A = this chain, B = another copy of it.
Amino acid sequence: MPTIKGERLIADLRRLAQFGRYKTGVHRPTYSPDDMAARRWVAGRMEEAGLDPVIDGVGTLLGRSRASGRKLLTGSHLETQPYSGWLDGAMGVIYGLELARTFAEDPRSAGLGIEVGAWADEEGHYGALLGSRSFCGEVDEASIDGARGRIEGKPLREALAEAGLAGRPRLHLERERYVGYLEAHVEQGDTLDNAGLRLGIVTGIVGIHLYRIHFEGQQNHAGTTRMAVRRDAGVALVRLAAEIDRRFPSVAGPRSVWTTGKITLDPGAPSIIPGKAEMLFQFRDVEPERLALLVRTIEELVRQANAQGPCRVTLEPVSRVAPSAMDASFQQALESAAEGHAPKLHLRLPSAAGHDAQIFARYLPSGMLFVPSIGGISHHFSEDTNEADIVLGCQVFADAAERILREAAA
């Protein structure tokens, strides 16, 4: 059983967190200089671990193994949400790196191939799960041409060119090369931490629907335009958002979540009635039927808003990711490894966050391991996990990976 080196693992994670450091966390948007520097640094560490790293045309970093036979693909992502945590994504990449090193160092496991991917833009600055979708052949050139940054609207092509990636070929999955895909991640919720557990075996990953909702009214002077004749796009937005707040609890499942993450009033000045407004609205659930009900509900609320007037409301679907199940034998391998190192301190649970594993699950047997997030805090610079849990998780991950590779070879 290959034994990982906990100090080396933690040191690499701490070093990686210096790229885009913000307070106790990290600000490393996709293709930012800090993000690209982090990719190059991890590529260097991959080389030292005996992997052959390559960065592709959408910024995905893949460290390829020279081992013969089918390999286990591992990985996660390196970019972060704005002003976010140091482990989200980064931990899964460094786990893969640590496995590759550990397996190579032990003659008994040196022949077991571990490959490590840092899939670009899982966080969706330009397109959710972009790198893993591109790797799996789900992204054509036209959709790259059309993609823009969600927050500032910069064309993806421009961002790729600025990052020095223009013209690079994109990598594509060779399915026969791999026995499957295994990803580790911080839970990001509070289920493990609240229950005093140390490991989570993911059963499935929620589907996510994201919409941009547009409101069109009439821009005008905020003093001289009587209330009765206004067509205030901001008021229309507030009314729809309040209806969502009122109606969604009655149609939601026990694990449904919904969020308005961004609101913009145009032109956004104190003395001007907004002529346009926009909100980003997202919901998630692991059950397809529940997602369908939530879709029908938001469509109905938008229809009602248009029927009431006086502003025009448009529901624009930005992205839809279907829920996906994890492979049963991978869950078994992770659970056995967890029971071996932390008896009874593990739990099977669905993932309420989206992950690259949900894309890979369409093409390869896939599995995911969670470690606890302290207080369930995530997508915030104060996100953290106890170092002992980080190290334990990596060892369990290594054991499961070894088992999966040996069973595949048997």
Contact = CB atoms under 8 A, between A and B. Distances in A.
B257 A227 contact: yes
A219 interface: yes
Interface in A220-257: 220-227, 229, 232, 234-235, 238-239, 241-242, 245, 249, 252, 255-257
A276 to B, nearest CB: 11
A261 B274 CA distance: 6
Given A227-B257, A271-B282, A239 B245 contact: yes
Contacts of A227: 249, 252, 256-258
B224 A378 contact: yes
A353 interface: yes
Q: How large is the interface on A (under 10, 10 to 19, 20 to 34, 35 or more residues)?
A: 35 or more
Nearest to A259: B222
Given A82-B267, A208-B223, A261 B272 contact: yes
Contacts of A219: 379-380
A31 B289 CA distance: 56
Nearest to A284: B223
Interface string A271-303: 111110000101010000000000000000000
Contacts of A318: 270
A190 interface: yes
Interface string A328-371: 00000000000000000000000111100000000000000000
A318 B189 CA distance: 38
A188 interface: yes
A115 interface: no
A210 interface: yes
Contact of A224 (B188, B234, B260, B267): B188
Contacts of A226: 189-190, 255, 257
Q: Indicate how many identical chains form the complex.
A: 2
Contact of A259 (B124, B232, B252): B232
A151 interface: yes
Contact of A270 (B188, B222, B262): B262
A122 to B, nearest CB: 10
B82 A151 contact: no
A263 B261 contact: no
Contacts of A249: 227
A322 interface: no
A401 to B, nearest CB: 25
A111 interface: no
Contacts of A222: 257, 259, 261, 282, 284, 379
A81 to B, nearest CB: 6
Interface of A: 81-84, 123-124, 150-151, 187-190, 206, 208, 210, 219-227, 229, 232, 234-235, 238-239, 241-242, 245, 249, 252, 255-265, 267-275, 280, 282, 284, 318, 351-354, 373, 376-380
27 contacts: A82-B268, A82-B269, A83-B267, A124-B271, A150-B269, A151-B269, A188-B221, A189-B223, A206-B223, A220-B376, A220-B379, A220-B380, A221-B380, A222-B259, A223-B354, A224-B373, A225-B257, A227-B249, A227-B252, A235-B260, A238-B242, A260-B265, A261-B270, A261-B274, A263-B263, A263-B265, A271-B282
